[in-house]
Structure 1
Amino acid sequence: MTAESEDQRDNPTDSQSQAQFRQQVRAWCRDHIPADWRDTQTGVGDEEFVRFQKAWFAELHSAGYAVPHWPAEWGGGLPVDRQVVLYQELAAHDAPRLVLAFVGIHHAASTLLVAGTDEQRRRHLPAILDGEIWVQGFSEPEAGSDLAALRTTARRAGDEFVVNGQKLWASGGMHADWCLLLARTDPDAPKRPGARKSAGISYFLMDMTTPGVDVRPIRNAIGDSHFCEIFLDDVRIPAANLIGAENNGWQVAQATLGAERGLTMLELAERLGNAGFRWLVQSAPVDDPIVADRLAGFETEITGLRGLCRQIVERGATGPADASVVKLYYSELLQRLTDFAVEIGGPEAHTVLAKPMSSGWESGSWVLDFVGSWEWTIPGGASEIQRTIIAERGLGLPREPGAA
C-alpha cells in the first residue's frame, strides 16, 4: 500500500481527533521507520542489535511514542484510543519492535509505579527512557510454572541482602543493566501452619554489574541466544533496592506478571492483526476454500482479541483473571496461526532459516515464528497455570489440590 493510498484510507470508527492523530502517526512512520531495517537486522551480531534497538527506542521516545501507556508525569499519558491508533499504524508500517526495552517499559515500569518508592521511581523511570535495559529474574531450574517453589535465597546482613541461587530463561539477560529479582528471604515461612508456598519471598532491584552476578546465554532451537541463565554467588543488594515490604514479594510480583499477561497485549494484539495476519493472507492460496475458511476463522479470533485487549485497558481496573484470559488467548492463537502458516507455506517455508532480530513473533519467517511461538505459551505462567487462574479466580471454582 502506498503512502498516498494510506492517507486516503479512513478508519470508519475513528473520531475526528483519532483521525487527525492517525495522520500524524502515519506521516511520522513514513519519515522515521528505516525502510531497510529487516535486511540490516537479519544475521547481525549482538553489538549491532543493541545499537539499533537503543537508537530506535530513542527515535520513538523523541516523538512521544515509546511509553504511551505510562502516566503523563513520567512521559506517557496517551489516551487508550490513541494508543490503539499508534500500535495499529506502527504495525501497518512494519516498524521494528522494542525487543530490548520490552521488560523495562512494561514489567519494570509497572512494578515501580505500583509498588516502588518515590526514590526508586525517580532513579529508574527516567533511566529507562534513556536506554536502561532490564531483565526478569523469576524462573529457576525447578521453579518455572510453579514459581513459588523458587530456591534462590536472600539473607539479611545489615543494610544489605546477600543473594545466592540461579535464575533461568532470563530473556535478554546478557544485555541487561538491571534485574527484577525474586528471592526467598524467609525459608521457614512456607512451613508454618496455614502458610502458602509463596510466603517469605521478597522482590529486589538488582544491578547486573554487582560482583557475583554471572550471566550465561542459552542457545535455543532457532539458534539464537535470547535466553540466559543467571548465577548469583554472594551477590550483595542494598536494602534500599527492596520493592515493597520484606517477605511480601509475591504480592508485588503480581503487578509484574499482570503487565506481562495483560496490558502488554494491547500492542501485541495489534501487531498480530496488522502485520502477522496480513502477511499470512498475502502468502496464502486464498482461492482454496479450506484455506479461506481457516483465514476467516483467524480473522474473527484476532478481532475478538483486539477488542478484548482494548476493553481491558479502557476499563482500567481489571477482573481477577482478565489478564490471564488475554495471555492465554493471545499465546495459543499465535501458536495456531504460525502453525497454519507453516502448513500452507509448504517445503519452501522450511528453507527460511533467518529472521530480523528486531522483529516480533510474527516476522513472516514462519518456521522460526512457529518455533518461537511456543515461548509465549510458557513465560508469565504456562497455559496450564493460566487456566487454573481463570478457573479459580475468574469462575470461582474450587482450588486445585496441592501435591501430597
Structure 2
Amino acid sequence: MNLADRLKSDPFLKRLSELLGEEEVYVVGGYPRDLFLGKRSPDIDIVVLEDIKKFIEPIKKLGPVEFRLSEFMTAKFAFPDGRILDIARARRERYPRPAVLPEVEPAESIEEDLWRRDFSINAMAISLRKSNFGELIDPASGLEDLRRGTIRVLKEGSFRDDPTRAYRAIRYSLRFDFSYDPLTEREFDLARKYAGLLTFPRIENELRRGSTEERRAEFFHEVEARGLFPWEHRKASIEELRRLDKLLGERKEGDWVLFFALYLPESAGAREFVQNLPLERSEKKVLMDFLELREEKIETDPGEFHLKQGKRAEEALLVLAACRPGLRDFLLDYLRRKRNASPRIRPAELMEMGFSGREIGEILKKIEVLRLRGEIQTEEEERAFIRSLLNRESGS
C-alpha cells in the first residue's frame, strides 16, 4: 500500500482532502511519523500557507466540532469521536535569547516550516492537496532516521534555543527505543546549561507529558541524570520510580507531581521551595504532605496513624510507600481500610440520643478508628459501641 492509499484508509483525512481541494495543505509532525511506524495518531496537525481563517468553514463541515482560534496563527478543532485537529500557518522562528519563546512570522514554504522543528522524525509533511495527495516532503531525511531508529536535531544549538527539546528527545527515545545521533548527544550539554533559564511552567509541561509515557520511570530518571532539574534536588533511584509507577497504575498527566515529589530537596529550604512553585493548591498539598511525612516516624497502628495523618493527601502516602518499601504494605492496607472507615450512623441519630455536638464529633472519630483497626465492621456493631457509652454514662 503506497502512502496515498494509507492516507485514504483514514476516512477523516480523505474527507478533509476532498473539502480543501487544491488548497496547499499538509499533515505534519506526529501523524506522518506515527504513520510510518505503523501507528495511528488520534491527533492531526496540519499546516497551510495562507491565513488559517480561510480554512475554518470547510473544516467545520467534517462534523460537529468545538473550535478555538488563537492569536498565534493556530486553531484547534475537537470532534465528538475524540479526534483533535490543529491547524497552523507555516512559520519561521527566531530565538532572540536562549530558552525564551521564539519570535514568529509567516514562512514562504512548507520546507521552511519543517526546518524550524525539533527533530528530523517530526520534520516530515504529507500533502493533502488533491493533485499531489500523499506526496512526502522530507527535507531533513526524517524517514531515513525513522528507519535507523535515530533521534536527530536539525541544527547545532537547538537545545540552547529551546531546552524543552531535550525533555522531548528523552521521551521519544524511550517511547520508540531510539538512540541519539552524535550531535543530539552533544546538545544535552547545552540543555543542561540553559534549562535553568526556562520558566517552571514550561518544564512542568514536559514533565506532565512524560508522566503519561509507558516508560515514565525511565523518563524521569534520565531527565535527572542529564541535569534537567535545574534546582537543588535529591536523586531518586530507578527502583523508587518504578515502584511509584506500579503503585499508580493508570498513567495520567497529573501523576507528574508525584514523581516530582521524589526529587524534592532534603535541605531545610525544601518547604520554601515548594511554597514558591507556581502550582495548584492541591498539588502543593501533596508535596508539603510528603515532605512532612518523610521527616516523621510512622506509627504502624492504623488507628493511631489515622489520628495523626488522616488528613494527608492519599497521593503523598503513595509516594512515601514508593520511597520506603518497608511501609508499603501498611500504607496500602491503611488506604484500603480508610475507604470503608466512615461511620454508618448519622450525627442526627446521636443528637436524638442526647449527645452534644462536641461529643458527637468525638464518638464518630472513635468509631472511625475502631473501624480502621477492624474492631468494628458493621452498623450494628457501631450501635452496640454507642450503647456501651450510654451504659457507662448512666452507671457513673
Shorter-chain TM-score range: under 0.3
Structure 1 or 2, whichever has the larger Rg, is 2
TM-score, with length taken from structure 1: 0.22
Compare relative contact order (CA 8 Å, sep 6+) and give the higher one, 1 or 2: 1
TM-score, with length taken from structure 2: 0.22
